[in-house]
Structure 1
Amino acid sequence: MNPVLTDRRAVLAGLAAGASSPALADDLEARARRIHAATLVLDSHLDIPLDYGTGGHDPAVDGDTQVDLPKLERGGVGAAAFAVFVPQGPRTPEGFAAARVQAETKLAAIRGIAERYPLRAALALSPDQVLAARKAGKVAVIPSFLNAYSLGTDLSAIDSFVARGVRVLGFVHAGNNDLADSSRPSGEPAVEHGGLSPLGKAAVGRLNALGVLIDVSQLTPDGVLQTLALGRAPVVATHSGVRGVVDVPRNLSDRELDAIAAKGGVVQIVAFKSYLVRPGADYADKVRALRTEVGLPAAFVKPADGAAGLPADVRADYTHRLGGLLRDATVADLADSIDYAVKRIGIDHVGVGSDFNHGGGVTGWRNAGEAFGVTRELVRRGYSQGQVGKIWGGNFLRAWRGAEAAKA
């Protein structure tokens, strides 16, 4: 019997029996706080605005972004993977050039966190450097990369970004690019490459040779399985959900979960309500009404059908309102998906990633300063200190070491 689920049932039975006991609640809170303080809390994926590092978005300012140094410190977050992310644009020389400028700007901002505040943060380019930063009481800043669109068709650009610190790289976001198909195609054929393109397949080998941890989030199932078949290192899905809980193309199927775990990889459950909360019975009717209102055909296979053709401001409003059709997600919903993944592939292959500043955040973990809410919910469900440590950071570091070992 799964010890996590057995422990969870025991804890829940105790809570039900003594729900009115303040002593029981106080003991749980105190134990969760001790575990949180002793744990390397690592957020495997978050974004930054393009102006990060300036004005109110200076990382030392407790500002309006979900992640800054005050929030990371307040939440006891010891490490975070900051993404060099550029959204999809036209696949033209001009589009690639503009995207590359944005990517360079974001990488400089990420490196700048540690460069400008060396007493509070440290650039961490290896698992050992993450642990050294934690020992020194600093936040470990891990540069990551999402969406190879900004690389265009130039694989040598990978070497350039890795030379300046990128240690985690995901191929796609919302839309196919020249390396791979996205699970969320936008304005292009749903299947363009059949998973990875020849360029994407070459990129797997190049990233293995460089010791970079490959992020399979947002790939199609074919892309995920091809990456695993071609690669010689564990992979991570830094911000993904599970289709066994919410059946949407962006989430990972049981087959993908099994394959990632079989290769020693880790699935980091994302704190994003669209991938954690099942739509209500009236969801389809609400989507049809909203689509009609903004001028889209009422019929759809998925709510985003045809939205790429809307003017940018209308599309942004539609996307925002579409999210509002789902109830808010909570740390309990996040933990439900964690439970599912743990039961399916084991405690050694599950983690957590916020996707802050790009739609992530649930009630109980709205920003980096509230990271303890996740620990408290896991402890409430019966996860031990060792298990919480694996979910928050231990599993990610192990997979990263596997990627480093593949470099040899």
Structure 2
Amino acid sequence: MKLWLVTAASAALMAPALACASTGVGEPPTAAVVESVHHNALVLDSHADVLIDSTPRRYFLPDGSSRVSADKLKAGEVDAVVLSLAVGPGPRDAAGIAAARSEIDAKLAAVQASIAASQGQLVLARSAADIVKAEQEGKTAVLLSFQNARALGTDIGAINALYDQGVRVFAFNHAGHNDWADSSRPSEGEPVAEHNGLSPVGRQAVPRLNDLGVLIDVSQLSKDALLQTLALSRVPVAATHSNARSVREHTRSLSDEELDAIKANGGVVQVTPFNTYLVQLDEAAKAKVREVRVKYGLSSEFNAGNDNYSTLRGDTQQAFLDELAQVQPRATVKDFVDHIDYIARRIGVEHVGIGTDFDHGSGIEGYNSAADSRAVTAELLARGYTPEQVTAIWGGNFLRVLRAAEAARRV
């Protein structure tokens, strides 16, 4: 059995190691030590997307495969992955909602098909206990999450139906506001805030999710919406795929105020290896980005996340993003762990974890699929994190908040 639980004794060890971890230097661990620590941890990825036929090709690996396929999860000894039934921004009229629901249904079917085709390697988990049981049996647990209530319109009762289908993590939005909450990345033409945080439907949804025992995911929320969610929730939350804004400016990442609030809530921030959130562009890179933008008819001005390209459609948008990726510097595992370091120093090792956002544009040098997961363990150990801390970061912290959400169930 892997050592996934953060005990009081191991938590007490966390503070001394952070002094070393914060320097970003240390003796490289041997391959045997990395393998031992990685094998003994319950390795959990708290957010990955689901590929379907309509998914843009840029999200697939060059060979057309998924970054979290069963073989890559096994190769990286990833014991659990949270797969997101997610939709992006889009129309909020009846036709738009119907199309979004259809996409959710297609992704659920894809997950079910992958589990069926895995010959028992993948198993659907409905609880933290199921995840631990799967790991003990040498299997990989799949936990379902949902992202972007645009697909639900204003139907708060749909939360119950999602729960019945196995969803145990719920995120209000993606890029673009919806009828439940404001996003940290408004779509082009939208105001900075539509609801000044959560809408009335969103405010009602928080206690409903608590009552169901569903873990609330605060990634992608505006700051006001995030803080309101924390105030309303009676249990800890998770930001399943977020980064530190103080390390790399991006509206999608979390400010120090948000990090501190998540700590006070008892929650966890799961850092994502998403290139755009990790690398600060220098002036030469900015100039190249401007050239690509002008080539595609966009303004040469852009924000920290290059988010204002929504006027481009279909193949044109994909070509633009492909070309954009070629002129931007690539982040490394060190850049990724810098965010883990910052969050651990600011709010504690017990409040940080890993959520890759693989299959939705994420992936960096050295950590481009689940198969590369040991590289993160190696970097954490090299920075002075103890095996207990690495275990907490990889899965223990997320399982703690998932259990807390389950314990709040009242229906």
TM-score calculated relative to the size of structure 1: 0.90
Would you say the 8 A contact 2:185–2:307 is kept in 1? no
Q: Kindly indicate whether residue 42 of structure 2 is the aligned counterpart of residue 29 of structure 1.
A: no
1:387 pairs with 386, 389, 396, which one? 389
What is the CA distance between 1:185 and its match in structure 2? 1.0
Residue pairs, 1:115-134, within 5 angstroms: 115-117=116-118, 119-134=120-135
Equivalent positions of 1:7-406 (< 5 A) are: 7-8=20-21, 12=25, 15=27, 28-51=30-53, 64-117=65-118, 119-187=120-188, 188-302=190-304, 304=306, 306-406=308-408
Q: Which letter does structure 1 place at the counterpart of 2:403?
A: R
Q: CA separation of 1:38/1:291 partners in 2, compared to 1, >3 Å: closer, same or farther?
A: same
TM-aligned CA distance change 1:2 to 1:153, over 3 Å: same
CA distance in 1, matches of 2:296, 2:305: 12
Q: Does 1:4 align with 2:17?
A: yes
Is 1:28–1:380's contact at 8 Å kept on the other side of the alignment? no
- 1:79/1:130 contact within 8 Å kept: yes
Give the conservation status (yes or no) of the 8 Å contact 1:236–1:399. Answer: yes
Structure 1 counterpart SS, 2:77 = coil
Task: Say what the alpha-carbon RMSD is for the aligned residues.
Answer: 2.1
> Structure 1 residue 281: deviation in Å?
2.8
Deviation at 1:200, TM superposition (A): 1.0
Using the alignment, how far apart are the partners of 1:30 and 1:326 within structure 2?
35
Instruction: Note if contact 2:251-2:305 (Cα within 8 Å) is conserved in structure 1.
Output: no
Cα distance in 2 between the residues matched to 1:312 and 1:51: 14
Give the secondary-structure state (helix, strand or coil) at the position aligned to 2:290. Answer: helix
Provide the C-alpha distance between the structure 1 equivalents of 2:285 and 2:142, rounded to a whole number of angstroms: 39
Contact kept, 8 Å, 2:148 with 2:174, in 1: the verdict is yes
Amino acid at match of 1:129: D
Deviation of 1:303 after TM superposition, in Å, equals 5.8
- Give the TM-score taking structure 2 as reference length: 0.90
Secondary structure, in 3 states, of the residue corresponding to 1:122? strand
Residue 9 of structure 1, CA deviation:
7.3
Compare 273-282 and 300-309 and name the one that shifted more: 300-309
Q: 1:128 to 1:362 in 2, by over 3 A?
A: same
Task: Sort the Cα spacing of 1:379 and 1:301 in 2 relative to 1 into closer, same or farther, 3 A.
Answer: closer
Q: CA deviation at 1:153?
A: 1.5
Specify the code of the residue in structure 2 equivalent to 1:136.
Answer: E
- Counterpart CA distance in 2 for 1:201 and 1:67 is 34
- State how many pairs are aligned: 389
SS at match of 1:158: helix
Listed as ranges, the gaps of 5+ residues in structure 2 are: 1-13, 55-62
Mapped partners of 1:70, 1:245: distance in 2? 33
Residue 12 of structure 1 aligns to a residue whose secondary structure is coil
Structure 1 pair 402/297, CA: closer, same or farther in 2 (3 Å)?
A: same
1:119 match: secondary structure:
coil
Does the C-alpha gap of structure 1 residues 6 and 320 become closer, same or farther in structure 2, counting only changes over 3 Å?
A: same
- Deviation per CA, 1:22-64, whole angstroms, max 9, x where unpaired? xxx5x52211110001010000000111249xxxxxxxxx962
AA aligned opposite 1:140: A
Aligned 8 A contact 1:28 1:379 in 2: no
| Identical positions, percent | 47
